[in-house]
Structure 1
Amino acid sequence: MRRSVDLLDGPIAGSLAKLALPIMGTSLIQMAYNLTDMIWIGRIGSNAVAAVGVCGMFMWLSNGIAAVPRLGAQVKVGQTLGAGHEQRAVEYTQTGIQLGIFLAALVTLIYTFGNEGLIGFFKLNHESVSNDARIYLIIVGAGMIFTFMNQIFSGLFTAMGNSIVTFKVTTVGLAINFLLDPALIFGIGPLPALKVAGAAIATVLAQAIVFFLYMLVVMGDSRIFQKVRLWKFAGFRHYKEVIRIGFPGSIQNIIFSAISMIIARLIAGWGDAAVAVQKVGSQIESISWMTADGFASAVNAFTAQNFGAGKKERIRRGYYTAAGIITVWGICTSLALICIPQVFFRIFITEADILPMGVDYLRIIGFSQLFMCMEITSSGAFQGLGRPVFPAATGIVLTVARIPMAVALSATVLGLNGIWWSISISSILKGILITVGFVLLLRRYMNHTEKFYSKDR
């Protein structure tokens, strides 16, 4: 792992940038990955977008489940490497992968045999939309092992300071998906037009290739991965620690997904077109939150390693450096969504009767982008210190609050826009509370270090 970034010494801004830029690039590539799907599917029509949009809710749900081994293993590997305990890092790597395999298999079974009830929850207005959604869910469910493993590998390499690996393999995945999408959706040569099913197959194939690329890198890593023995049980303590770190963030993501499903069901009352608007709008918005999420992963790894090494001042300076960078990004994305929303939305759906709804969505959500970026970055720092509960609890409470807020606001003259405002307002509040919460925790950590040390230090 010669290209690993030294997170414990040297200029803080430089270390963060070297680790964060590939992760942010990976996030942008992942965003392009999703947007590519949506651009091609949008050419089929808004019903196809609605079908994939409904399944997107379940993809968020599965990502929330994958967060348990991804976050837990990333933090514990980062902390133990920072403390100089490589063998423990190997054991936590082994635990994260084993847990990921089990959870991926469980999700695959649920999507395969429970898809009718899952899609039926949304009470879509057209049977063809429901059928397309079920087909899409079954296909991507079959490839869930690749999705889970890719996320876990991404977290582990980030913890080791080698985020460039994830950037490279994800870039290859995007290129493959870009080529497969139009070929499988619309057909080419002997290949029939598979439409929504084609998009799902393209996604699974691209994820599978990314997984095998990861495996090529993993087999060449003598520091950690070659020492992993998947057939051995690392011990209950390791599982407990991984779950302790990963579970709060995972529950937050799962509840976020569940609330999004309930919100989507409310939105469906305005028609399938409104569901399509939310799907496209959230994909456009991902330029903000996926980049922030990538940057938060860098902050997470930086904080975890320096926590393990006991470098308090470096953690403090690292967080404020990261906060300054992500603030600039959040302001830029807010201005873009507020000022020129129609430019972005027309890329995906050009139907004249749907465009005004899309413009309203992007403008309203635009007000929350800065706060959302700060929320995500501060949550990553919380996790790096091994304190994931506060951001998770705050996020859960305010995300759940979206439901009564959406019901109340949509019953006013705002109508559908009331639902968009419920999302935006809750994001603003989360950003403020979680950022302030981490600043207070950081002050306490600087003064009372001994209360924060884990058993692995």
Structure 2
Amino acid sequence: MQRVLINPEAPKSENAKKIIKLAFPIIVVNLLYTVESMFSLVLVSGISASAVAAVGFSLSLLWFIYSLMALSYTGTSVLVAQKVGAGEDPSPVLSSGLLISFLIALPLTFFGKDLVLYLMSLLGASDRVVSLSSEYLTPIFWFITVGFMTNTFYGAFNGAGDTRTPMKVAVLMNVVNISTAYCLIYGKFGLPKLGVQGAGWGIVFSELLAFLIYLYLTRVLKKPFPLLFSVDKETLLKMVRIGTPTAVERAVTSLSFNVFVGFIAHFGDKVLAAHQVGLRIEGISFMVGFGFMVASTVIAGQNYGAKNLPGLIYGVRFTANLTAALMGILGLVLILFPKYLSLPFSRDPEVIRWAVYYLIIVGISQVPMAYAVIFSGALKGMGRTTIPMVVNIASFWLFRIIPSYLFLKFIHSPLVPWTFMTVEMFLRALLFYLAFKRELRRQSPSFSPQPD
């Protein structure tokens, strides 16, 4: 285990090193997941356009299903961080997280695929796409309990301050997924030719490998701490209390985001394509923010558990300013070079023109986004997951969706929702800052600061 306790008196370079050491592997992991998704689409592109549509649509809807992972992942990550910070045994937390993730995923083994296919049909997918999606999703849902438990292991390692090991595991997962999927899709090296289903088996084999590696590390090598299967009612209830708001938040946000994209879709395929291009380019900046958000959760959780309030405050604020500086630079790149960033994704002049507008507008929001995700992560680390749920959902609807809907009645332009997207991010950052300050005032009397 690695205790990441922050000493405000230590040199800034020392604290920066701790934070970057935590965040960098998480950024790499997210980049690898992005590469994995891209390769899934590339590999099935040799089958047909319908196969690409099926896998792409399935991946989008799987994110809605995977929002349930947040219940066990968040509870495990936060409570492990707090236990490590307090110098207590985090093994019961991981055991409880694995049990919860298994129980959540078990019904999905039998009903999950049908739910996804129903949503797909409801959203207008053709019979051919639904049929191919069924082939792709079948092995994934057969082994979805493994995927959920693997994600819980990932949360435990992050909470314990070991983000390098999951990065190495993610590299192996990518290699296994891509190579296995290629062989099974096209029947290479004497293996059966499974078509789209082969891509699903690629995901399954990569998750099985990761699960076995995590099990070996925790049970045999006792890294980052020994896993002793011990579950108690109090830990289970605390985990559900902490994890449920995040799971609800992700599910509602996923659906809300699709509502927002629906506004863009009304302006035609080229504007929608420009929006998708912009999202993928902006995603690089978001991955940086997400990596540091997880770092802020670990820092807040461990220092909260150690009752080191000065270190918690200093660590979160230092992380917020560092993230804002990095994302600010990336935002400036989006503003200054939007056309050159868009060209690799499309040669259509209209798509490029709208993508340029999107990137300039969204580039302005990178700094407030940095502060929003860091303070959100810090509140989760302190176990206050209900606050981020309320702020994120309320902010998305009150400042983004509803104003966009009303203004579009008078100004028919995609610039309207894009503008409110940036305005909303500034307001969300302010709300999170005020919520974090309020929580610090509430916690101050109960803390007795400890030295690093």
Same fold, judged at TM 0.5 (above) = yes
Q: Structure 1 residue 17: deviation in Å? A: 2.6
2:67 match: secondary structure: helix
Aligned pair count reads 443
CA distance in 2, matches of 1:258, 1:397: 14
Normalised by the length of structure 1, the TM-score is 0.83
Instruction: State which drifts further: 168-177 or 39-48.
Output: 39-48
CA distance in 2, matches of 1:85, 1:448: 23
Unaligned regions of 5+ residues in structure 1, if any?
453-457
1:114 match: secondary structure: helix
CA distance in 1, matches of 2:311, 2:214: 31
Q: Deviations over 1:107-143 (max 9, x none)?
A: 343332223321123224x554454455444454344
The equivalent of 1:20 in structure 2 is 23
Residue 396 in structure 1 maps to residue 393 in structure 2: yes
Instruction: State which drifts further: 391-400 or 409-418.
Output: 409-418
CA distance in 2, matches of 1:49, 1:277: 19
CA distance in 1, matches of 2:204, 2:167: 18
**1:97 counterpart letter in structure 2:** L
The equivalent of 1:455 in structure 2 is none
Instruction: State which drifts further: 217-226 or 64-73.
Output: 217-226
Give the alignment of 1:341-360 within 5 angstroms.
341-350=338-347, 354-360=351-357
1:123 match: secondary structure: coil
Alignment counterpart, residue 82 of structure 2, candidates 79, 84, 90: 79
Residue 290 in structure 1 maps to residue 256 in structure 2: no
Q: Structure 1 residues 5 and 310, CA, compared in 2 at 3 Å: closer, same or farther?
A: closer
**2:145 counterpart letter in structure 1:** I
**2:244 counterpart letter in structure 1:** F
**1:120 counterpart letter in structure 2:** S
The equivalent of 1:156 in structure 2 is 156
- Between the aligned residues of both structures, percent identity stands at 25
RMSD over equivalenced CA pairs, Å: 3.4
Q: Deviations over 1:23-71 (max 9, x none)?
A: 2332333333334445666788987665444334323223321111111
The equivalent of 1:217 in structure 2 is 217
Give the alignment of 1:46-445 within 5 angstroms.
51-86=54-89, 89-124=90-125, 127-180=127-180, 197-222=197-222, 226-229=226-229, 234-270=231-267, 278-350=275-347, 354-401=351-398, 402-445=400-443
Q: Structure 1 residues 112 and 292, CA, compared in 2 at 3 Å: closer, same or farther?
A: same
**1:106 counterpart letter in structure 2:** P
**Contact 2:51–2:132, Cα closer than 8 Å, also in 1:** yes
**Contact 1:24–1:294, Cα closer than 8 Å, also in 2:** yes
2:378 match: secondary structure: helix
Q: Structure 1 residues 262 and 190, CA, compared in 2 at 3 Å: closer, same or farther?
A: farther
CA distance in 1, matches of 2:32, 2:162: 17
Q: Structure 1 residue 197: deviation in Å? A: 4.9
CA distance in 1, matches of 2:375, 2:34: 21
1:415 match: secondary structure: coil
Normalised by the length of structure 2, the TM-score is 0.84
1:448 match: secondary structure: helix
**Contact 1:90–1:224, Cα closer than 8 Å, also in 2:** no
Q: Structure 1 residue 75: deviation in Å? A: 1.2
Q: Structure 1 residues 34 and 115, CA, compared in 2 at 3 Å: closer, same or farther?
A: closer
Q: Structure 1 residue 186: deviation in Å? A: 6.9
**Contact 1:31–1:283, Cα closer than 8 Å, also in 2:** no
Q: Structure 1 residues 207 and 121, CA, compared in 2 at 3 Å: closer, same or farther?
A: same
Unaligned regions of 5+ residues in structure 2, if any?
none
Q: Structure 1 residues 315 and 337, CA, compared in 2 at 3 Å: closer, same or farther?
A: same
**2:434 counterpart letter in structure 1:** V
Q: Deviations over 1:314-336 (max 9, x none)?
A: 11111121012101121122223
Q: Structure 1 residue 359: deviation in Å? A: 4.1
Q: Deviations over 1:373-411 (max 9, x none)?
A: 221111111111222222220101122344333433444
**Contact 2:85–2:304, Cα closer than 8 Å, also in 1:** yes
CA distance in 2, matches of 1:244, 1:280: 38
**Contact 1:177–1:203, Cα closer than 8 Å, also in 2:** yes
Q: Structure 1 residues 270 and 197, CA, compared in 2 at 3 Å: closer, same or farther?
A: farther
**Contact 2:6–2:312, Cα closer than 8 Å, also in 1:** no
CA distance in 2, matches of 1:144, 1:415: 41
CA distance in 2, matches of 1:359, 1:184: 40
**1:63 counterpart letter in structure 2:** Y
**Contact 2:296–2:378, Cα closer than 8 Å, also in 1:** yes
Instruction: State which drifts further: 372-381 or 44-53.
Output: 44-53
